[in-house]
Every structure is written in structure tokens, then in C-alpha cells.
């Protein structure tokens, strides 16, 4: 019986067109190098069937890790739950595991170094925009990044997955008008992230087209129910005119705060006030009445981000590709007026 000759590190280096030292660093995720160089070495190792001397089955080697990092500001709440579920399901289908990594609000924290040191195959950043130095460090380490619903536009081309925020805001305005609203409250988000601005822009654009003379109060709140309750209460008190009010909040959590403000004002949903949120997290249907909202396909977006990352980890450069997934209005009790 003839044994198959063992593929050497020298053969991998020659196949990839790099030095033996560079091939070794790429396979062990040590040092810094360009992403395309690391990807080329990994691809050569896979094509040749390279296996390091002393490697043991079941023990992943640094540099060929089948791990993706999912980085979020926090992992509590229904929005984060949807991202995690979508990312983990697709990663498992592709043969990867997912590590949950928190972006800590601490200047001394260094999530890129934590990720680099464990030889991650790639990163999905959810609702986070990395700094230029962080992007550069990941590029030198050969670790690709995919952005999911980035809060701003990157100055460095990075692949991203996002949704039709402006179209969703426009759909909310048209729906409220069709359901009889003649006065409007818009609760934008603070900080003023890219997706929040797009939602408000889409709503106000559609309102200008269909009801340019309608009274309106445009306010902002932090991205939570408590502050949205305060902002909505103030807007309702300042809003002039008569007739049903249409409230559009830039997230379902903010819409929940608007519910409390409407109740505090002695008004009823949907008789006096119609409400539309944005996201369609699971809590939206538990409100009373259930919330009409703009669904963004959160799980599908996370899945798409992981698939894009897997292609990048295999050496297929996606450049600055932006994958845009459609929103959908989901009508529930908060806009179903009777009589």
C-alpha cells in the first residue's frame, strides 16, 4: 500500500507565492498581514490538503479556525436575540461556530485584539461602525469584516447588509394616512444614526407628497421606551389641529414608550391615535393593542452577513458590496380603526 506524501509548509508557501515565514504566520494567525495574503495561503493549504505536523484531530489550529465573531454593543433584548439566532443558524450550516463578543464602553477595551488573538475567521459587526485603526488592524491580521445595519457610512469600503429604511418610513406614512390620520407625530432616534435618519426622511417625504398641509410634530428621543414616552408626551401636547393622530416611532421599543404617553394623555389606541413602529421584534405583537410595524428581516440579514463573511474568509473579496433587504409593513391592531 502506497502512502500519500505529506504536504509540507514549503509546498503551501510556494503554491501561495509567499515566503515560508509568511505562510506559517498566516496559518497560525500570528503577526499582521494583508487580508488577501492570508486568504491566499489558507486557500492553498486547503487545496493541497496541508496538515501541520503534530496536529491532532478535533483540535482546531490557529489561523484555520472555523469561528466567526459576532460583535454587538449588548446581547440583551429581542433585536439582539434575532441577530444571534440568524447568525448561529447559518454559521452552523456552513460549518462554523459563532463567538459572541461585546463592544465594551471602555477606552481600554480592545475587541480587535481579543478577536485577533483567537484566530477568528471573520467578524460580523452589528449596529457598530469600526474606527479606521480597527479596520486596518483587522486587515493586517487577515480577518474580514461584514457590517450589519451600520450606523454610518464607512470611509473604508466594507461589505454590509442593511434594509430599506427610507422605504419603510414612507410605507408607514402612507399607511397612517390611509387609515385616517390627519395629524402626525414622528419620533426619531438619538443619537441620529444613519438608519434612523433614513426612516424619518422616508416618512416626511411621503407625508409631503400625500398630505403637505397636515399638522406635524417631529421630535427625537434616545433609543429606548422611557425617553420616547417623554418625547411623545411633549409632541402630543404641542400638536395643533383636530382629528386622529398618527404616530411613527423609529423602533418598536420607542413605540412602546409612545403607548404609555398616549395612555397618560387620556387618549386611546387606535380610536384617537394610530401607531406604527419599526423592526417587528417579537414584543410588538404583545402590546395592547398589537403594534402595526415595519418589519425588517433581522434574522435574514444576519444570515446574509454570515454568508458574505464565509465567502470573504474563503478569499473571495466582496469589496464594499451593500446587500439591501426589503422591509414590509405588518398591520395589527394599533392602526385598525373601527367606524
CB 232, CB 265: distance < 8 Å: no
User: What is the phi/psi pair of residue 266, to 5°?
Assistant: 75, 20
Number of H-type helices and E-type strands within the chain: 11, 12
CATH of segment(s) 165-297+328-335: 3.40.50.2300
- pLDDT value at position 339? 56
Q: Which residues contact residue 71 at a Cβ distance below 8 angstroms, ignoring those fewer than 6 apart?
A: 101, 102, 103, 111, 115, 123, 124, 125, 126, 128
CB-count exposure of residue 238 (10 Å: 0-12, 13-18, 19+):
exposed
pTM exceeds 0.85 for this model: no
Place of cell 417623554: 230
- pLDDT value at position 107? 66
Q: How far apart (Å, rounded) are the C-alpha atoms in residues 246 and 238?
A: 14
- pLDDT value at position 42? 82
> Domain coordinates of the chain in residue numbers?
1-64, 67-163+298-324, 165-297+328-335
Per-residue confidence in pLDDT tens, the chain, 339 aa: 445 577 888 888 899 898 877 887 777 766 567 777 878 888 888 888 887 654 444 334 444 579 999 999 999 889 999 999 999 999 999 999 999 999 887 766 788 888 988 889 999 999 999 998 899 889 888 899 999 999 999 888 999 999 999 999 999 999 999 999 999 999 999 999 999 999 999 999 999 999 999 999 999 999 999 999 999 999 999 998 899 999 999 999 999 999 999 999 999 999 999 999 999 999 999 999 999 999 999 999 999 999 999 999 888 888 889 999 999 999 999 999 865
- pLDDT value at position 37? 82
CATH top-level class of 67-163+298-324: alpha beta
Fold match, 67-163+298-324 / 165-297+328-335? yes
CATH top-level class of 1-64: mainly alpha
Place of cell 464607512: 154
Amino acid at each position: 500500500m502506497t502512502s500519500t506524501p505529506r504536504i509540507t509548509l514549503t509546498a503551501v508557501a510556494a503554491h501561495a507565492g509567499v515566503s515560508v515565514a509568511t505562510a506559517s504566520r498566516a496559518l497560525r494567525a500570528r503577526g499582521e498581514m494583508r487580508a488577501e495574503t492570508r486568504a491566499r495561503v489558507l486557500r492553498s493549504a486547503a487545496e493541497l490538503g496541508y496538515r501541520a505536523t503534530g496536529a491532532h484531530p478535533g483540535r482546531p489550529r490557529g489561523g484555520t479556525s472555523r469561528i466567526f465573531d459576532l460583535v454587538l454593543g449588548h446581547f440583551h433584548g429581542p433585536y439582539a436575540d434575532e441577530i444571534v439566532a440568524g447568525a448561529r443558524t447559518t454559521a452552523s450550516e456552513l460549518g462554523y461556530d459563532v463567538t459572541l463578543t461585546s463592544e465594551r464602553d471602555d477606552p481600554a477595551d480592545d475587541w480587535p485584539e481579543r478577536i485577533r488573538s483567537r484566530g477568528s475567521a471573520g467578524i460580523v459587526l452589528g449596529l457598530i461602525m469600526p474606527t479606521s485603526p480597527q479596520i486596518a488592524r483587522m486587515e493586517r491580521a487577515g480577518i474580514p469584516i461584514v457590517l450589519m445595519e451600520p450606523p454610518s457610512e464607512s470611509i473604508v469600503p466594507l461589505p454590509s447588509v442593511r434594509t430599506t429604511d427610507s422605504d419603510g418610513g414612507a410605507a408607514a406614512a402612507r399607511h397612517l394616512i390611509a387609515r385616517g390620520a390627519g395629524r402626525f407625530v414622528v419620533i426619531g432616534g438619538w443619537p441620529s444614526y444613519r438608519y434612523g435618519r433614513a426612516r424619518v426622511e422616508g416618512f416626511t417625504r411621503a407625508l409631503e407628497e400625500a398630505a403637505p398641509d397636515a399638522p406635524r410634530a417631529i421630535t427625537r428621543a434616545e433609543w429606548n421606551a422611557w425617553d420616547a414616552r417623554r418625547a411623545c408626551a411633549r409632541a402630543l401636547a404641542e400638536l395643533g389641529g383636530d382629528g386622529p393622530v398618527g404616530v411613527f416611532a423609529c423602533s418598536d421599543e420607542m413605540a412602546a414608550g409612545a403607548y404609555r404617553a398616549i395612555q397618560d394623555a387620556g387618549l386611546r389606541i387606535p380610536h384617537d391615535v394610530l401607531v406604527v413602529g419599526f423592526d417587528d421584534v417579537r414584543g410588538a405583537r404583545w402590546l395592547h393593542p398589537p403594534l402595526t410595524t415595519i418589519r425588517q428581516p433581522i434574522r435574514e440579514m444576519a444570515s446574509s452577513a454570515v454568508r458574505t463573511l464565509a465567502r470573504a474568509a474563503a478569499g473571495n473579496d466582496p469589496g464594499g458590496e451593500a446587500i439591501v433587504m426589503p422591509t414590509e409593513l405588518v398591520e395589527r391592531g394599533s392602526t385598525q380603526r373601527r367606524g
